[in-house]
Amino acid sequence: MNKTNKKSVKTLAIWTIAWVLSTALAAFGPVFVWESQTVLTGGAIGINFLVGIGMIFANIHHITSLDEMLQKIQLQAMGITLGATLVAGISYSLMDTTNLMAADAEISFLVIFMGLTYMAAVVIGYRRYK
Amino acid sequence: MKNRLKVLRAERDFTQADLAEKLDVSRQTVNAIETGKYDPSLPLAFKISRLFGLPIEEIFEDQG
């Protein structure tokens, strides 16, 4: 990993941590800190959205700083993740709307599924070219 | 696609890390090219060709 890669990984990590923290603030702030004050809740969600955009740009910068093979691994992992999340997400939603499962479908499950699929696909990709 | 990258690198006493730095790619990519698991793009192949001062066809061998 060269200096540019290290810097882009660090920048991406900072943006990701900031996004996770701002998500936690927007989710738990109205419940535990400011007790449903609409202005503060709206502000927290706005900050979360803007930090999320920053995280996307940091990710784009990180991907473009990688060499061609590492970009290929990332692209394949993203393709697998997109397809798997679409298929699993629709099936999960259908199970909810057709009452095949008792609980409501939660977006958080889909986000966890997406993260785990992406991580697994990246690890498999790296092993394939090892 | 077969290639002579490992031999050429050894002849010049380069480590994989040295070659990776000269080509501005990761060490994993150099390793994957050497083991034939990854075929480089044309721009990278030209870069390798320039570095070793050899034509592309003397470094890479098409097996198709």
Q: Do A51 and A43 form a contact (C-beta atoms < 8 A)?
A: no
d(CA A59, CA B25): 19
A67: nearest CB among B25, B31, B37: B25
Closest-CA distance of chain A to residue B35, Å: 9
Q: Do A69 and B29 form a contact (C-beta atoms < 8 A)?
A: yes
- pLDDT for position A35: 84
Q: Which two tokens stand for residue A86?
A: 């679409």
Residues in chain A whose beta carbon is closer than 8 A to a beta carbon of chain B?
1-2, 5, 66-70, 72, 126, 128-130
Q: Which of residues 20-59 of B touch A (CB under 8 A)?
A: 21, 24-26, 28-29, 31-32, 37-38, 40-41, 44
CA distances from A111 to A47, A84, A116 (A): 20, 12, 9
- pLDDT for position A120: 98
> Which residues of chain A lie closer than 8 angstroms to B29, CB-CB?
67-70, 129
Closest-CA distance of chain B to residue A120, Å: 18
d(CA A28, CA A81): 29
d(CA B38, CA B61): 13
Identify which of A66, A63, A30 has the alpha carbon closest to the alpha carbon of residue A48: A30
Mutate to test the interface with B, among A69, A127, A130 (most CBs of B within 10 A): A69
CA B50 centroid distance within chain: 11
Q: Which two tokens stand for residue A41?
A: 């809740």
Count other C-beta atoms under 10 Å from residue A78's C-beta: 14
> Which residues of chain A lie closer than 8 angstroms to B30, CB-CB?
none
Identify which of A69, A75, A77 has the alpha carbon closest to the alpha carbon of residue A5: A69
Digitized pLDDT (tens) for each residue of chain A, 130 residues in all: 677 778 899 999 999 999 999 999 999 999 899 887 999 999 999 999 999 999 999 999 999 999 999 999 999 999 999 999 999 999 999 999 999 988 888 999 999 999 999 999 999 999 999 8
Domain boundaries, chain B: 2-54
- pLDDT for position A36: 77
Write the CATH number of the domain with boundaries B2-54: 1.10.260.40
d(CA B25, CA B32): 11
pLDDT tens digits along B5-64: 999 999 999 999 999 999 999 999 999 999 999 999 999 999 999 999 999 999 999 876
Closest-CA distance of chain B to residue A78, Å: 19
d(CA A23, CA A28): 8
